[in-house]
Homo-oligomer: A and B are copies of this chain.
């Protein structure tokens, strides 16, 4: 009898990777050994000092709500981190602690965009971004990007695609699924284009600490008007704790506070206490070692993929993904991903999870498993594809 499901619920696409993951899990239950290179989650557990801080917080009875924008001590610690790490002076009052970067993306979209208003973002890109826009009835406009621009938007592209309903730009630096960076001067030029049009620039930096060479500057340094989103999930290895943050312009803080009060009440309390230890220098030294392990994996994976004929046109400089063109195998990315799952027991994500632009010609390899398993995966793929 009930037929009224919201249009957005019909139109929002599921993560294809979730279907792949479910299928892979079913194969595992049936006894198959599956190598997981589909999941965007580090395989490392949360470091013990962070876990111990969570345990201490629970023992101390920190089980009640925090203020909607987070524990004052955590907001101050995040602000201090920008000073120390990036040389950018940030007021703690501009730090919004959120339930994951997901919470920050939702708050940003809710605070900034009216129904029908457009936000420009790269295609391919993180799929949830367009769905957060859809949730509040705004419109994400994917701009095709390729190796010419390291799979990132440029100031020129922003200027060309800015239309009468455009109100903002979202970039991820480095990006998912490609792990590629925007050059600092290009990001500054994008910011200038957006600012000149009275729009908003949102910069997703959740993989920013996972850049292997010299770290690029944070977009926080471009100006207080940039919304900078980050997370304790990736570099800090706290995925299941559900904690992220956003730097927002002072002018938006009252709106964001109201929205956070109503939508979330607050981020998880135990995670906020644990995050205080995650930001400490000693913890970050350890996390940098984890980053180095990811770099070793990338350095092994890239030449192996090239040998097999997977065409990674722009080497990833960070995150834990390689995005490879697969046309030479003579089938769609979805078919190839299915074949490799079924025949090689290697789970991968087809590009169709990340947009429309040449999507079914690309596959994302997540190097979120050990070097040994990555090498095993390459051997199995070689056997199946007869490269």
Binding site for B on A (CB under 8 A): 1-10, 12-15, 18, 41, 45-46, 51, 54-55, 58-59, 61-66, 68, 99-100, 102, 106, 110-115, 117, 127-128, 131-132, 135-137, 167, 195, 198-200, 225, 237-242, 249, 251-252, 254-259, 261-271
Determine whether the beta carbon of B137 is less than 8 Å from that of A240: no
Q: How far is the CA of A46 from the CA of B61 in the complex (A)?
A: 7
Determine whether the beta carbon of B112 is less than 8 Å from that of A5: yes
The smallest C-beta distance from A219 to any residue of chain B, in angstroms, reads: 16
A-B contacts, 14 of them at CB < 8 A, read: A4-B167, A4-B199, A9-B258, A41-B65, A45-B61, A51-B58, A54-B58, A63-B241, A128-B262, A128-B263, A135-B136, A136-B137, A242-B266, A242-B267
Contacts A3-B198, A100-B265, A264-B100; A270 near B240 (Cβ below 8 A):
yes
The residue of chain B having its C-beta at the shortest distance from the C-beta of A1 within the complex is: B198
With a cutoff of 8 Å between Cβ atoms, the chain B residues found around residue A3 in the complex are: 198
The smallest C-beta distance from A254 to any residue of chain B, in angstroms, reads: 8
The smallest C-beta distance from A332 to any residue of chain B, in angstroms, reads: 22
Give me 15 other A-B pairs in contact (C-beta within 8 A), A51-B63, A54-B270, A240-B270 excluded: A2-B199, A6-B110, A6-B111, A8-B114, A9-B252, A9-B256, A9-B259, A41-B65, A63-B237, A64-B239, A128-B263, A136-B137, A137-B137, A242-B266, A242-B268
With a cutoff of 8 Å between Cβ atoms, the chain B residues found around residue A240 in the complex are: 62-66, 266, 268-270
With a cutoff of 8 Å between Cβ atoms, the chain B residues found around residue A132 in the complex are: 262-263
Determine whether the beta carbon of A268 is less than 8 Å from that of B268: yes
